[in-house]
Amino acid sequence: MLNRSRKASVSLILFVAPAFALYVIFLVIPMIQGSYFSFTNWDGLNKSYSFIGIHNFVEAIRDDANFRTAILFTAKYVVVAVILQNTIALLLALLIESQRRAKGMFRTIFFMPNMLSIIISTFMWVFVFSKVMPALSKFAALKFLGISWLGDPDVSFWTILLVSVWGGVGTLMLIYMSAIQGIPQPLKEAAIIDGASSFHMFRYITLPLIAHALTICIFLTLNSSFKVYDLIFALTGGGPARATQVITMNILEEAYQRNYRYGYASAKAIILFLIILVITMIQVSVMKKREVEA
């Protein structure tokens, strides 16, 4: 019996070791190095650098107007994206689960955008907004389609959200559908017999019993929205005039594209990490308490 348990432990270690090694090499070690360099003035190229304490953090928070603008835009994007993606995904899940036929077809249709590469699908949308929409505005007499979808700061925010929702709803929808399918059927039937309306069914039965799915989906959308880069880079490049620049783009610009201040960019990355850590911890703890209450 003891030999079997040892063999099981060895097998487990052998299976986990490669993934753990990759995790340490590509995540843990770079994070430790980045944390160290955030207290230096290293430019990412030369071997010589100096330890400057918390100067990078003070400069980023107090003196960097572009970084503050990127934080505000990212916060605005995160709030609206999380609400829209989860609301639409939940509505789609409820609508599809209420259908008796063609559930598989609808699941496939709404999940298809997730099967495409973000860059490829985003370039497709760039073509739509820059070529197709202006053509429709001319030939179909739909003048409102001729607006600057990617060049107007006010419009480009909603354009980014449209593409974000289109590409992110599918996965969330499947999670919500799985949670809805796990609700006991006798409970639904009892509520119907008692005369519960559709709204009361959703409010007092469906919503409390899918609270765990809400926690997961909001956590996923918070995490991905804070770290968004490729979608906005491919759509607007952070423009016009930095109006759609998110924190990740500001960090990479600081480190590699313009200023080559790797230590300063590392400090900004640490600030982003702390923001995500605090917000996700609060979100998970609050929603876990609601799960227990439900």
Report pTM. Answer: 0.90
What domains, with CATH codes, occur in the chain?
Answer: 65-293 (1.10.3720.10)
pLDDT at 206: 87
Sequential DSSP letters for 115-166: GS-HHHHHHHHHHIIIIIHHHHHHHS--GGGGS-TTTSHHHHHHHHHHHHHH
Please state the φ and ψ torsions of residue 24, each to the nearest 5 degrees: -65, -45
> What's the average model confidence in pLDDT over 205-227?
91
Q: How far apart are CA 229 and CA 237, in angstroms?
A: 9
pLDDT at 1: 52
> What's the average model confidence in pLDDT over 250-258?
87
Structure tokens at 107: 């699941």
Between 248 and 239, the more confident residue is: 248
pLDDT at 183: 87
pLDDT at 2: 52
pLDDT band at residue 268 using 50, 70 and 90 as cut-offs: very high
Indicate the burial class of 276 (C-beta count within 10 angstroms; 0-12, 13-18, 19 or more). middle
User: Which tens digits make up the pLDDT trace of 99-153?
Assistant: 878 788 888 888 888 888 888 888 899 999 988 888 888 777 677 778 888 888 8
User: Which tens digits make up the pLDDT trace of 145-187?
Assistant: 788 888 888 899 999 999 999 998 999 999 999 999 998 888 8
pLDDT at 294: 57
> What's the average model confidence in pLDDT over 197-222?
89
For every residue of 158-212, which 3-state class applies, written as one string? HHHHHHHHHHHHHHHHHHHHHHHHCCCHHHHHHHHHCCCCHHHHHHHHHHHHCHH
User: Is the model's pLDDT at 74 over the cut of 80?
Assistant: yes
pLDDT at 114: 85
